[in-house]
């Protein structure tokens, strides 16, 4: 809990304020990082029965960072909804 309190909350604040997937908003605490051709997101989320840590690394594509962000959001959304 101490670590997650220091991380942005999806759809609420910081570098995750842009998230708009209902399954993620208010449920995912994560930190992002990016530079040309690279986008990363690492963090935590909980379900009713378990806590999870995740890392998403996107590397070597010519897309703009906004495209990376949406790909990461879609990947995380799919993972959470499959649990």
Specify the pLDDT at position 35: 84
Q: What residues contact 14, with CB distance under 8 A and at least 6 apart?
A: 7, 8
* Number of other residues whose CB lies within 10 A of the CB of residue 51: 10
Strand-by-strand arrangement of the 28-35 sheet:
28-35, 38-46, 51-59
pLDDT in tens, 50-72: 999 999 999 887 766 678 889 99
Residue 8 has which token pair? 């942005």
pTM of the entire structure? Answer: 0.88
Residue partners of 36: CB distance under 8 A and separation at least 6? none
């Amino acid at each position: 809990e101490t670590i997650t309190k220091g991380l942005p909350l999806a759809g609420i604040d910081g570098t995750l304020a842009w998230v708009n997937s209902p399954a993620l908003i208010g449920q995912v605490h994560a930190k992002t990082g990016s530079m040309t051709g690279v986008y990363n997101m690492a963090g935590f989320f909980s379900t009713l029965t378990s806590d999870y840590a995740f890392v998403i690394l996107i590397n070597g594509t010519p897309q703009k960072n906004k495209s990376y962000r949406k790909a990461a959001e879609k990947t995380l959304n799919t993972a959470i909804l499959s649990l």
